[in-house]
Amino acid sequence: MPKDRFADARRDLRFIGDCPVCGRPMLKGPSIDKHHFLPKSEGGGPDDAQWVHRICHKQIHALFTAKELARDPELQRPSALAARPEFEGFIDWIRKQPPEFNARMRKTRRLRK
């Protein structure tokens, strides 16, 4: 049976569940954010928000505008979002990082214009 490399994090008292985007454990604190899968600016409300890692949240907004997130129902489902080609490399990389890992993210060149 493979060893769960995040077993200690899942036993931590701050553990609140696994990130719906990357699947790593989330611990209460500065490494998590609430993400509105249907943006508030596009009519989303509290029911559209879920806890995700801050770095996953930053990556979502680095790749997609609020209008794109609202227009495409696939982008409103965490599992479908993580399966997008734009996300593949990020997901492979982030799953190797510890639960509280955080880093700066840059918007894609397309969104920086």
| Phi, psi values for residue 4, rounded to 5° | -80, 110
The ranges assigned to domains in the chain are 7-112
pLDDT at 96: 93
For tokens 């990357």, the residue is 22
pLDDT at 48: 86
CA distance 41 to 96: 33
52 close to 78: Cβ distance less than 8 angstroms? yes
In the chain, % of residues over pLDDT 90: 46
pLDDT tens for 49-75 read 999 999 999 999 999 998 999 999 889
